[in-house]
Amino acid sequence: MEPIKRVTAPTLDVLDALLAADGPTWGLLVIKATGRQAGTVYPILERLEQLDWIRSSWDDDAERSGPRRRLYEFTADGLVAAQDLVAARVDATRAAARPTAGARPTTRPVAS
């Protein structure tokens, strides 16, 4: 499994949506969960598959009408790496929301 060279917000959103899914999920559900466009989500899914973070397969439900769905799920290593990346984003967001130590609000006007 190769590391992701550039971790973007859309990539983290896709990873988060896949982590939240109960088992294999198809691309349209990832699009709905992330609120991202198909032109953003599908290239990310393709890259994740090329890096061996996820694998895909075609849905074989003969009872379902309509086009076949391509299902995506994590590899074992990809699952661990995705959990680490998403957890790091949560930690970074929390750290950014915390006030810095020593910084106190003041009522003095700012001198220019």
CATH number at residue 69: 1.10.10.10
Residue 48 within a domain = yes
Residue 98 within a domain = no
> From CA 103, how far away is CA 2, in angstroms rounded?
41
Please give the residue that has the higher pLDDT: either 77 or 112. Answer: 77
Instruction: Give the pair of three-digit tokens for residue 88.
Output: 């790091």
Residue 103 within a domain = no
Whose structure tokens read 């075609």?
58
> From CA 40, how far away is CA 103, in angstroms rounded?
39
User: What pTM did the predictor assign?
Assistant: 0.80
Please give the residue that has the higher pLDDT: either 91 or 21. Answer: 21
pLDDT for residue 65: 82
Residue 47 within a domain = yes
Give the tens place of pLDDT for each residue, 2-58: 989 889 999 999 999 999 999 999 999 999 999 999 999 999 999 999 999 999 999
Task: For residue 25, give the H/E element and its range.
Answer: strand 25-26
Residue 60 within a domain = yes
- Number of folded domains in the chain? 1
pLDDT for residue 77: 96
| Nearby residues of 13 by Cβ (< 8 Å), 6 or more positions away | 34, 35, 36
Residue 63 within a domain = yes
Boundaries of domain holding 53? 9-79
Whose structure tokens read 């999920």?
25
> Binning pLDDT at 50, 70 and 90, where does residue 98 land?
confident
